[in-house]
A and B are shown apart, each in its own frame.
Chain A
Amino acid sequence: MNCHHAERLLWSYVENALSAAQREALAAHLQQCEWCQQRLQAVRLTHTALQSLPRYRAPERLVERVRAEIAAQPKSVARRTVRPALWRWTLAPALGLLVAALWWWSQTSSPAPITDSTRPDASGSLTQQAAQEYADTCIELHQQLEMADWAGTPTVSYLITTGYTR
């Protein structure tokens, strides 16, 4: 055993948490290594100091403060924590359906008539604009789902329409 290995075992040695074989090997190393012996003394002292740290006691008024705070809360507040989870589960499919509807609408509705004949690229611009709006909507929905810390499986329509990947 070298000093580097021994150093890793000193804390467990002090805590009697080594196997018999490890303990024996470390003891043999310690017998011939003064540097590790000194290190062991420091570890022992530090360990004892940590175990002997004074413990702070909570102020007596703490229990009263907690009781008063709980009494001031509406009775239903304890149930409130369940709601976000349900909300997330219903939100995900609803948003998926919404995105699917938007996609269907963008595919079926005809582009606005081109009135400005002096701009030959107007049709292209409108298509690009619609595509951009659609992409923005997807990104926004995606971000909303991330914010909701949604960990469930995405709906198929959501995957198809947004190209959602985790």
Chain B
Amino acid sequence: MDTPSWAEATLIERAQAQDETAFDQIVRLYADRIYNYVRRMVGNPQDAEDITQEVFIRAYQGLPSFDGRASFSTWLYRIATNLCIDHRRRQSRRVQTVPYHRDESDEDEGDWEFPDTSQPSALDVLLNRELQAVVDEAIDALSPKLKTVLLLYDVEGLSYEQIAQALRIPMGTVKSRLFAAREQIRRAVEAYQRGEAK
């Protein structure tokens, strides 16, 4: 669902001129990407929906100050990351926190879809729900810093440069965090292969 950059730029210009129809289109354009990212960051579907909504409200309010130095999607991911981190802080401050547990019913929600991939070996992986669960669990266990970079690069497909812009960290830090995150996932996958998984 790639939109040409000129079309995106036109939409943004119109939205900056307070054209709400244009902003509606922007929301439709990015809703799935931002929701997927936020959902994986926070885990809970209800919180993910609320945070995604807040991302777009903040974006709308901040449109006059958006200067196009970073791409619009990078800017949205930046807002989303900050809101997810705030959410996590609030969660950790609560005395009585009920952790969210993914259960079977979540799998039946029907709000997710598999990416279209032509790699033959990917099909095996897609069919291997166990491995997927191992990877999901390993991602959940990552620290927010590592998780953010891993999701933005491996799941959302941002470049090192875009991630560096979105998180305002040096590109070297992006690379080292990505390596650390991936190695942590790889260790979990290896443990699963050796039959050490829970």
Chain A positions within 8 Å of B, measured between CB atoms, are: 8, 11, 42-59, 62-63, 65-67, 69-71, 73, 75, 77-82
Contacts and interface: CB of A to CB of B under 8 A. Distances in A.
B52 A58 contact: yes
Given A49-B131, A56-B39, A56-B111, A63 B186 contact: no
B27 A82 contact: no
Interface size range of chain B in the complex: 35 or more
B154 A50 contact: yes
Contact of A55 (B27, B36, B179): B36
Contacts of B125: 45, 48-49, 52
Contacts of A67: 20, 24, 27
Contacts of B170: none
Given A8-B179, A46-B189, A52 B117 contact: yes
Contacts of A48: 119, 121-122, 125
Interface string B121-152: 11001100001100110000000000000100
Contacts of B189: 42, 45-46, 49
Interface string B38-60: 01100001001100110011001
A46 B122 contact: no
A43 B36 CA distance: 24
B126 A81 contact: no
B27 A42 contact: no
A45 B186 CA distance: 8
A78 B23 CA distance: 13
Nearest to B50: A65
Contact of A63 (B31, B119, B193): B31
Given A52-B126, A66-B27, A66-B53, 8 more contacts: A46-B182, A49-B125, A51-B115, A56-B35, A57-B111, A58-B32, A62-B53, A78-B18
Please provide the 10 A-B residue pairs with the shortest distance between their CB atoms, ordered closest to farther. A58-B35, A58-B31, A50-B154, A46-B186, A54-B112, A56-B39, A66-B56, A56-B112, A56-B36, A49-B135
A11 B182 contact: yes
A62 B65 contact: no
B101 to A, nearest CB: 17
A123 B140 CA distance: 66
Contacts of A54: 112-115, 132
B172 interface: no
A81 B61 contact: yes
Nearest to A68: B53
B112 A57 contact: yes
